[in-house]
Amino acid sequence: MKMKKAASVCTAALMAAAMLAGCTGGTSSKAASASSSADTASSAVSSASASAAAASSEDVKASSGTANSDGTYLVGVCQLVQHPALDAATKGFEDELKAEFGDKVKFDEQNAAGDASTATQICQNLVSENCDLILANATASLQSAAAATSTIPILGTSITEYGVALDISDFDGTVGGNISGTSDLAPLDQQAAMVSELFPDAKNVGIVYCSAEPNSKYQADKVQEYLEKAGLTVTTYTFSDSNDVSSVVGEACSNNDVLYIPTDNTAASCTEAINNVAQPAGVPIVCGEEGIMAGCGVATLSIDYYELGKTTGDMAVKILKGESDISTMPIEYYQNPVKEYNPTLCEALGITVPDGYKAYTPEEDSES
């Protein structure tokens, strides 16, 4: 099992190179960006390959449970991109550690601006700094961190499905080695049921997501399965990066009664562009998370990313104090998702929301 998971981590580094390699910027820059990402990831794979096969729980950083000589802990943070959900998860994580350790914990917080090769460089730098623990916020950050070290404890957050992210075919809920964390996956069957609940007359549903994000595909496939079981006709539409969003959403709106967008980092950074197409077309969007709904959707099954970050922070406290072995810590999930709706867009589209949905307010977008 350890050998299989180690090989999966190496595969994940290659996935990180492809993911979001051109998700921002013009078409002319995409080839160069992708090439740079591939070169960076290839180096990470070579490094990971040399040590991953020997990784075991005994190899995980010996400082777990022991502060540095000055009594402090250094925690690295690699956040893939800036948007409210990920920002809230990072803040919750740091607040939980500060509540436990006060000024005895220091953070090196870095943002990859949506670029996988930058995430790889950040994680390599955090390893060279000999951080006591690394928070990997979003899938590409987790893949990059996993490729960068097999010894420093890594906690993921805002990760939908760890088996998909790390290419573990027999994932049983515990990654093992030096990796654990929290998942932002809200129950997909309940998300699919919301489509029929809100739009009982809908016949055709379009699912829209970024093809560079494996966790988005995982969600899309599952939701499609549930919707088709409910008798709906489902078509998937994918964009490769932010340049394709408007045209893909336009095609989806032309052929469907309702759209569904899963938790997707590229979509989250393009909600204005999505709404500029979908709202004038009169096509409502059910979303996988609150941040996307706030910008372009009518409803979601929401989780609290700040609380998810705090849960991740609590896991970090136990690791740093030596109370838990990360190799045996199962992935944790947000336990109380809430049905939520966007009053502004629902009013604009003339949608009557049934009982049991909480109205979204912008103040809830992040924790202050």
Residue 84: what pLDDT?
A: 87
Question: What domains can you pick out in the chain, each with its CATH number?
Answer: 2-184+306-333 (3.40.50.2300), 188-302+337-365 (3.40.50.2300)
Supply 140's token pair: 């590409």
pLDDT at 64 over 80: no
pLDDT at 34 over 50: no
Across 15-29, 54-68, 232-246, the highest mean pLDDT is recorded for: 232-246
CA 33 to CA 14: how far, in whole Å? Answer: 14
- Give the residue, 249 or 64, on which the prediction is more confident: 249
Residue 59: what pLDDT?
A: 62
pLDDT at 207 over 50: yes
* Residue 109, H or E segment: strand 105-111
pTM over 0.85: no
pLDDT at 267 over 50: yes
With a CB cutoff of 8 Å and minimum separation 6, the contacts of 141 are 78, 79, 80, 112, 119, 122, 123, 156
